[in-house]
Amino acid sequence: MKKLEVTSTAFFYIIKELQEEILGGYINNLQLVNHEDNNLIKIKIHKKKTKELIVSPNILFLTELAYPVNPESGGLIKFLKKKLYNQKIQEIKQDKNNRVVYFKLDDYYLVFEFFSNSNIILTDLDFKVITSKQKEEWKDRIIKKNEIYSFPQGKEIVKKTEKELLDEIKDKDLKATISYFVKEYNIYPGYINKEKTQEEIVKKIKEIYDCETPALVLEKGRNEDEILVLVAIGKEKQEPFDFFKIISETLAEKLKTEETVTEKKSKNKNVSILESQIKTRKEYEKIANDLQKEGEKIYEYFQIIEIINEQIRLARNKKIAPDEIIKKLNEYFSKNQKELSIKSIDTKERSYVLEIKEQSES
C-alpha cells in the first residue's frame, strides 16, 4: 500500500469531524491492530454507542470496519490501556497548523505527532511527560519522561484576518511570500503556488479555512509510492464525501484477517504441543534406556557387588576410615577389574558410589 502524506490543513477538518463524533465520549479500550506494519492502534470510545478510532503514524480516522486486533498487545499499548480506561474526552484539538493532535482527558493529555517518525505522548495535565512511544530531541524541544512537553513551532492562522496576514508579508516578494507561509504556517505549497499575487495567496488560505463544506481528497504525491491527503474547496451544495470510509478501506488492504491470525495461532499451538510431546517422549526413552543399561550392569556385576558390600561391612566394624577402605578396594580393582572403582563411601547412610567404566573394544 502507498504511503499517505496528510497535509496540516487536512488535519484541521479531520479534527472538526472528530469533535462532532467523539467529543465527550469515554475511552474503554485500546489495542494494537493486526496490520502488516504493526503500527496501527484502535481506540474504542463510547458515546451513546461505541465508535472505533484508528491511529496510524500518518493519520487518525473513525472506521466501521472490523479491524482485527492483537489480544496480547504489550508495552506502550498495555500501559495506555490501563491509564486511559474510562477517561472522558474533554477536548480534541490540533496544535496551531501543525500535524499534531491532542486529546484532553480527565487526568491526562494524549498527544499524537504525525510528522517525522511520528510519536504518541502521554502527559499529566501540566504537560509533564509520563511516557512516550519514543524519546526524541531537537534543538528547541525534547520528548522524554518527566520533561515538560512543548509543541512544535508554528503559527495559528484561522483567527487572523486577511489584513493581518498581509501585514506580515508586506515586505516580501511572491516567492518569499509562498516560502513564508510554507515554513511559518505549515501550508502545503500546492495550495498557493499557482497564485499570482500576495492578495490571492492570502485569500486562498482564508478560503481553505473558512470553507463550510470542505472535502478531503486523495491525489498523487511527489512519487509513485505517495498519496497526498488534501483539502478540496467546493461549493456548499457539493455532494457529501465520506473521507474516513475511503481511508479506512485503503489501510485495510494490509490488515491481517482474524481468520488468518486465528489459524496461524492455532497452527503454532498445535506445532508447539507436538514438539513438546516428541521432546518428552525422547526424554522418557533416554531415561528408560539408561535404566535398562544400569540394570544390566548391576546384574553383570551382581556377585562382585555382594563381595564389595561384605568387605565394606567388615571394614566398618573394625572402624577403618572410609578413605582407607576406598584405597584398598581400588588397589584390588586396578589389578583384577580395571573398569571398576569406588568413588565415595557414606558410612552414615551406609551407601557408596561404584563407577563402572565402559570397556573399549579390542
Asked whether residue 120 is assigned to any structural domain, the reply reads: yes
Do 205 and 347 reside in the same domain of the chain?
no
Do 235 and 307 reside in the same domain of the chain?
no
Do 97 and 9 reside in the same domain of the chain?
yes
Asked whether residue 276 is assigned to any structural domain, the reply reads: no
Asked whether residue 97 is assigned to any structural domain, the reply reads: yes
Cell of 105: 482527558
Distance CA 123, CA 231 (A): 31
CB of 57 closer than 8 Å to CB of 51: no
Q: Which comes out higher in pLDDT, residue 341 or 350?
A: 341
What is the percentage of the chain residues whose pLDDT exceeds 70? 81
Q: Which residues pair with 123 in a beta bridge?
A: 109, 129
Do 244 and 330 reside in the same domain of the chain?
no
Distance CA 105, CA 61 (A): 19
Q: Could you read off the pLDDT of 216-234 as tens digits, one per residue?
A: 888 887 777 778 888 877 6
Please tell me the total count of domains within the chain.
2
Asked whether residue 292 is assigned to any structural domain, the reply reads: no
- Reported as half-sphere exposure (CB side, CA atoms, 13 A), residue 97 has a value of 20
Do 216 and 354 reside in the same domain of the chain?
no
Domain of 68, CATH number, reads 2.30.310.10
Main-chain dihedrals φ then ψ at residue 139, nearest 5 degrees: -70, -25
Q: What is the pLDDT of residue 130?
A: 97
Do 238 and 308 reside in the same domain of the chain?
no
Q: Which of 105-109, 235-239, 316-320 has the highest mean pLDDT?
A: 105-109
Q: Name the domain boundary from 256, 288, 309.
A: 256
Asked whether residue 209 is assigned to any structural domain, the reply reads: yes
Do 336 and 220 reside in the same domain of the chain?
no
Asked whether residue 277 is assigned to any structural domain, the reply reads: no
Q: What is the pLDDT of residue 26?
A: 97
Q: Name the domain boundary from 256, 287, 310.
A: 256
Distance CA 241, CA 244 (A): 9
Asked whether residue 290 is assigned to any structural domain, the reply reads: no
Domain range for residue 35? 3-256
Do 212 and 138 reside in the same domain of the chain?
yes
Do 219 and 326 reside in the same domain of the chain?
no
Q: Name the domain boundary from 256, 285, 313.
A: 256
Do 43 and 178 reside in the same domain of the chain?
yes
Question: Which one, of 55, 57, 61, 56, lies nearest residue 22 by Cα?
Answer: 61
Average pLDDT of the chain is: 83
Asked whether residue 41 is assigned to any structural domain, the reply reads: yes
- 81 sits in which H/E element: helix 75-84
- Low-confidence winner among 68-72, 186-190, 246-250, 297-301 (lowest mean pLDDT): 297-301
Do 247 and 325 reside in the same domain of the chain?
no
Do 206 and 347 reside in the same domain of the chain?
no
Q: What is the pLDDT of residue 361?
A: 44
